[in-house]
Chain A
Amino acid sequence: MKRYFNTLRIFWSASISAEMEYRVNFAMAAFSSVMTLGGTLMMLFLFYRTGYEMGGWPWRDALAVVGVFTFLEGMQATFMAPNRTRVTEHVREGTLDFVLLKPINSQFWLSVRTVSLWGVPNIILGLAIVGFALTTRETPPTLAGLASGLLALGLAVLMLYSLGYLLSTISIWYIKLYNITMAMQALVETGRYPITAYPGAYQAFFTFVLPVAFMTTVPARLMTGRGGTEWLLGAVIVAGLLLALSIGFWRFALRYYTSASS
């Protein structure tokens, strides 16, 4: 276990110092995060100015969903996306051989190899929005609600990671992953608003097929005290299943890995 922590520390400090070379890019990422958030807030304004409540959620609770989504977007850009592109590169160039030979779990190594600071503005903004939504509510969140909500948020990160890793595993067979990732990201956009704001067919698809509802709506639901423990239990089950699936699928895929030019 200690070896894993040490590896993590070395990997991340190295990639952060490499990232520091591109400060302008970071500024642009921050600018576009703020603009995107502004656009989303404008959307909420357009809905709520008429007195309409999205899926029966008051605007502060819907704002919490926006915050959770923004936070997850940041986590994705910081920890997951940069590693995903590398898996594809390793497969294409055959350097995955060296990773497999290392005395460390290959999925761990491939999942944590780099971090990118591009997502940090979104992580901060997301948490700030959630904080604002919760503290300005008429009824402040209970301690139990907050704790279960944060736990669900952690599970949401795990779900997002597992889904992403499932996608990068496909690159063992099919190298042009960029477009699949884009397609999934477009669908995940649903999570920006409470799932109850969508019609029935959307709700079913984004709960049972692509569990976006468990990623953003459920944490916000628990934090704002609009849901009981059954939602937390659901999140635990979905996250557990997805993680098990990503591990199992990776092991299965490795059997088909034939290294470069063989």
Chain B
Amino acid sequence: MTQAFAQSRTGWRRKLGVLFVVHYAEMLQYRVEIALWAVATMLPLIMMGVWAQAGESGLFPFSQVLMLRYFIAVYLVWQVTIVWTIHHFEFLVVTGRLSPMLLHPVDPCVRFILMHLAEQGTRLPFALGIVGLFLFLYPDTLTGGEGGDIWWPGWWNITLALAACYFAFILRFFMQYALCMVAFWHERVTALDAIQYLPHLFLSGMVFPFEVLPEPIREVLLWTPFPYTVWFPASLLVHGEAPVLRGFLTMAGWTVAFFILYRVLWHKGLKHYSAMGA
């Protein structure tokens, strides 16, 4: 009994490993496109310019160095939390290519998550190159400038931030995947995605650090999932002053909610789905 259980577990690990390697090899073919994605996601680094300049004035809670660090951290966090599954899923449903995937013993969503991880692995070297360029242009980010301290968040915060990043990825994934299910009824779900992207853009801390928000607005936003996908992991890396317990609990709550929503819609949607042209 225990032996069979152990065997099935190694079997799973092997399957996931093989799937990951396959998708990684697939993604490597598209490395030029993926390198361009590392540029296309540079918005936090552009905002870094405006905020670093603003930080110099001393009118904001963050100094220039903290602004630089914050947006470098946001860019890195975003590299792990980008989810694009909706574009892929729409294509699969509209063309009927989802059908063969349904016959696999592995749930399609496991495959989609592995695809994202493989794509992230391909993109990371380019993203690190871009970060390197900005650190070269603004060495104060690392050294802290005159009289400042070196940027070292500590092993514990780095571990927490990494955990938060991948948790945030899973949360963002199920948030978008639940929306993907609309594709079973409506052909153009990517148009919907453009709308759900807006709160993520403006309320997650991607374009400003949460510290500059007026207190009441900040308190309300901390109940939504958005800040935990960008601001929370980035803050752990920058100064470590983040509500750790609350962060992980809120993320867990929203992830479970979106996961349940996805399962319910998935079962309803599959009944509605008749593959293409049937």
Min distance, Cβ B34 to any Cβ of chain A, angstroms:
8
Residues of chain B contacted by A58 (CB below 8 angstroms): none
Q: Are the C-beta atoms of B191 and A202 separated by less than 8 Å?
A: no
Q: Indicate if A50 sits at the interface (CB-CB under 8 A).
A: yes
Q: Indicate if B110 sits at the interface (CB-CB under 8 A).
A: no
Min distance, Cβ B182 to any Cβ of chain A, angstroms:
13
> Which of A38-46, A81-89, A155-163 binds B?
A38-46
Residues of chain B contacted by A36 (CB below 8 angstroms): 198
Interface of A, secondary structure class, is helix
Measured as residues with beta carbon below 8 angstroms from the partner, the interface class of chain B is 20 to 34
Residues of chain B contacted by A209 (CB below 8 angstroms): none
Min distance, Cβ B275 to any Cβ of chain A, angstroms:
25
Residues of chain B contacted by A54 (CB below 8 angstroms): 50, 54
Q: Indicate if A198 sits at the interface (CB-CB under 8 A).
A: yes
Q: Indicate if A193 sits at the interface (CB-CB under 8 A).
A: yes
Q: Are the C-beta atoms of A52 and B36 separated by less than 8 Å?
A: no
Min distance, Cβ B211 to any Cβ of chain A, angstroms:
11
Q: Measured between alpha carbons, how far is A197 from B51 in the docked complex, in Å? A: 9
Q: Name the residue on A nearest B57 (C-beta).
A: A52
Residues of chain B contacted by A50 (CB below 8 angstroms): 59-60, 212
Q: Indicate if B270 sits at the interface (CB-CB under 8 A).
A: no
Residues of chain A contacted by B46 (CB below 8 angstroms): 186-187, 189-190, 202
> Which of B152-160, B167-175, B200-208, B251-259 binds A?
B200-208
Min distance, Cβ A257 to any Cβ of chain B, angstroms:
21
Q: Are the C-beta atoms of B201 and A182 separated by less than 8 Å?
A: no
Residues of chain A contacted by B32 (CB below 8 angstroms): 179
Q: Measured between alpha carbons, how far is A122 from B53 in the docked complex, in Å? A: 28
Q: Measured between alpha carbons, how far is A182 from B40 in the docked complex, in Å? A: 6
Q: Are the C-beta atoms of B53 and A199 separated by less than 8 Å?
A: yes
Q: Measured between alpha carbons, how far is A156 from B162 in the docked complex, in Å? A: 43
5 pairs of residues in contact across A and B, judged by CB atoms under 8 Å: A36-B198, A47-B50, A179-B40, A189-B46, A197-B53
List chain A positions with a Cβ less than 8 A from chain B.
25, 28, 31-32, 35-36, 39, 42-43, 46-47, 49-52, 54-55, 176, 179-180, 182-183, 185-187, 189-190, 193, 197-199, 201-202
With A54-B50, A180-B36 known, 18 other A-B pairs at CB within 8 A are A28-B191, A28-B194, A31-B195, A32-B194, A39-B198, A47-B50, A47-B54, A54-B54, A176-B33, A182-B37, A186-B41, A186-B43, A193-B50, A197-B53, A198-B49, A198-B50, A199-B49, A202-B49
List chain B positions with a Cβ less than 8 A from chain A.
32-33, 36-37, 39-43, 46, 49-50, 52-54, 57, 59-60, 137, 188, 191-192, 194-195, 198, 201-202, 207-208, 212-214
